[in-house]
Amino acid sequence: MRFLILALVFAASMSRAQPVDLPDKVVLATTDWCPYSCADLQRSGGRKGIVVEYLEDVFEGLGIELEVQFYPWSRALMLARRGEHVHGLVSSVPSEVQGMLFTQVPTMSYRTCVFTLDSSSWRYESMQSLIELNLGYIQDYGYGGEVDDYIFMNKGRPNMLAITGNGGVVRLSRLLKAGRIDGFVSDPLVAVYEMGGVDHKLNMSACFEEFPFFLPLNPKLPWAQALINHLDGVFREETSQIILDGMVAEYLSREVQE
């Protein structure tokens, strides 16, 4: 797999020679969002996450050392905007962090679903149905489309509970089990991965449109556009998607360890 990615990077680099020198090292921020990016290597069995491992191979092919730093998501966004300690983010969407320079080709995609207890009688009919729930979510996350619009229009209301920090899905599930909320929103891949070993019987009561996410860099960096061009060249190759699909299947097939 690594050989295929390195070959793709070489081909993209040769076809898109850039007058700007690329850096020797790039530092990207992210949060604990397994299986996309995994901060707890002991729990993940030493795996760093689908997107992190994929990007490590891509950057290695470009001759660039990639360092990934983990923060609570709100802090990761702040650091990326300032560009003082990190150069960008492992993955994001434009609605989460404005003013950044994003790749044009997505690395992966995500989807948002509403999770309730199995015993819940709530049924989704339209976005207005969410008003019936005391809804939990992670502050500053981009859930995409109508969900982001709903959160923006209703945040601060008594039936909305925003949390910050790491381990968001497990914490939200505990709030759900304790009756503090009636449901929460999450990407299903993250929920399946993070909920491994947690004895909460949940129901995926509604799912929304799938959205792509991208790699953003701070636009103040003199080499940002050149690096974005190289990355786009690799990401758009059909073989890259095949490799990512294989990584997703591999991650979800393994038993999650506590």
Question: CB–CB of 92/216 below 8 Å?
Answer: yes
Per-residue pLDDT, 20 = 67
Handedness of CA 27, 33, 37, 42 (dihedral sign): positive
Per-residue pLDDT, 129 = 94
Tokens coding 85? 């300690």
Residue reference for tokens 């390195």: 6
Where do the domains of the chain lie, and which CATH numbers do they carry?
Answer: 2-107+214-253 (3.40.190.10), 109-211 (3.40.190.10)
Residue 203, SS3 per DSSP:
strand
pLDDT digits (tens, 9 = 90+) for 120-175: 999 999 999 999 999 999 998 889 889 999 999 999 999 999 998 777 888 999 99
Is the peptide bond prior to 72 cis by the omega test (within 30 degrees of 0)? no
List of the chain residues with pLDDT < 70: 1-20, 196-200, 252, 254-258
